């Protein structure tokens, strides 16, 4: 089999229903493909609804597997091991692809045979855009756009996001899969599992392609359009990275962390004082990150 379209889901039934309904308009690829749903310890009736059927797309094999270990990285690894396709295409449960999305990804596969592909992600905001939500901040809602030209990605600074990504199954399994210590885990909004895998593939000199014509729309939930969401996201990311950086070293944070923490807060306060709250959020996010980093180094297990 050529492609496995994998959707990992946790307690997101209403969004999953909308995503699966949208797949009925999807133009199929030329090669054989299947649809794989990984239900990651959902407790909102997702498993029961999927078992009732009626959501499947005609003409292809549609399967559901249960992954009891909570965490999106574990769910993605389960998709890699369960997939029958040579390539695994990941789509999040709150996204709607354009009708030619899968066909465009298939064309890149046929021409380049890469280890991975990243596609364009556009944030679909529910009720307009808040004044403080700058273009730079859209990336933290999953938006991704490296321009209109298809190309090979070679820099660690241009990661792909698993909301719209393809991976050569065996290549990623041989590389160790997704890091289970990273990514969302239940209600804990974190990330990084896709960026870490991308950077690992780049270091291994694997080919990663940017496919701008393969477009999906990320349906943003209203609760994410709050300043606290961005601050908490960076705080948790800092905690995770602080603990990982410390490893087996002393839990007493080094002095340079104290100075970094102080500088970050100073910049945030100065920005807010000079330009107001609408322009200071990015600096406040940096400050939240260093608070988390300091706490993760001091308290959390590596």
Q: Per residue in 100-125, pLDDT tens?
A: 999 999 999 999 999 999 999 999 99
pLDDT surpassing 70 at residue 190: no
* Across 274-293, average pLDDT: 91
pLDDT of residue 95 exceeding 90, the answer is yes
Q: What is the pLDDT averaged over residues 207-218? A: 98
pLDDT of the residue at 128: 83
Q: What confidence category does residue 137 fall into, taking pLDDT thresholds of 50, 70 and 90?
A: very high
By CB atoms closer than 10 A (0-12, 13-18, 19+), residue 44 is middle
Residue 243 pLDDT exceeds 80: yes
Percent of the chain at pLDDT > 90 equals 77
- Per-residue pLDDT, 187: 67
What pTM was estimated for this model as a whole? 0.89
The pLDDT value recorded for residue 127 is 83
Q: Mean pLDDT lowest for which of 45-54, 183-192, 223-232?
A: 183-192
Q: At a CB cut-off of 8 Å and minimum separation 6, what does 116 contact? A: 160, 165, 166, 167, 168, 171, 172, 198, 201, 206, 207, 208, 209
The yes-or-no verdict on residue 13 having pLDDT over 80 is yes
- The confidence band for 150, taking pLDDT boundaries of 50, 70 and 90, is very high
pLDDT at site 194: 93
Strand partners, 42: none
Q: Residue 188: is its pLDDT beyond 70?
A: no
Q: Confidence band (pLDDT; 50, 70, 90) for 292?
A: very high
Q: How confident is the model at residue 146 (pLDDT cuts 50, 70, 90)?
A: very high
Residue pair 11/42 in contact (Cβ under 8 Å)? The answer is yes
Phi-psi region of 294 (alpha: psi -120 to 50; beta: other; left: phi over 0): alpha
Asked whether the predicted pLDDT for residue 175 surpasses 70, the reply is yes
Q: Please, what is the average pLDDT of the chain?
A: 93
* Closest among 195, 109, 214 to 155, alpha carbons compared: 195
């Amino acid at each position: 089999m050529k492609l496995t379209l994998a959707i990992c889901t946790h307690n997101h039934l209403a969004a999953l229903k909308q995503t699966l309904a949208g797949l009925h308009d999807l133009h199929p690829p030329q090669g054989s493909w299947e649809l794989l749903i990984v239900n990651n310890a959902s407790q909102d009736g997702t498993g029961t609804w999927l078992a009732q059927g009626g959501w499947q797309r005609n003409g292809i094999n549609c399967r559901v597997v249960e992954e009891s270990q909570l965490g999106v990285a574990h769910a993605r690894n389960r998709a890699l091991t369960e997939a029958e396709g040579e390539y695994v295409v990941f789509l999040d449960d709150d996204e709607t692809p354009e009708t030619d999305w899968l066909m465009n990804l298939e064309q890149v596969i046929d021409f380049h045979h890469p280890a991975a592909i990243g596609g364009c992600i556009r944030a679909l905001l529910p009720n307009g855009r808040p004044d403080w939500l700058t273009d730079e901040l859209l990336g933290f809602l999953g938006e991704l756009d490296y321009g209109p030209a298809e190309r090979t990605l070679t820099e660690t600074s241009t990661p792909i996001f698993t909301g719209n990504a393809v991976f050569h199954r065996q290549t990623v399994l041989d590389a160790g899969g997704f890091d289970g210590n990273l990514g969302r885990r239940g209600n804990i909004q974190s990330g990084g599992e896709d960026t870490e895998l991308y950077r690992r593939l780049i270091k291994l000199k694997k080919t990663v392609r940017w496919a701008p014509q393969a477009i999906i729309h990320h349906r943003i939930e209203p609760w994410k359009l709050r300043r606290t969401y961005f601050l908490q996201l960076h705080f948790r990311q800092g905690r995770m990275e602080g603990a990982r950086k410390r490893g087996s070293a002393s839990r007493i944070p080094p002095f340079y962390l104290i100075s970094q923490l102080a500088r970050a807060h100073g910049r945030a306060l100065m920005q807010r004082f000079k330009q107001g709250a609408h322009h200071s959020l990015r600096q406040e996010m940096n400050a939240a990150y260093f608070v988390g980093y300091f706490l993760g180094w001091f308290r959390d297990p590596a």
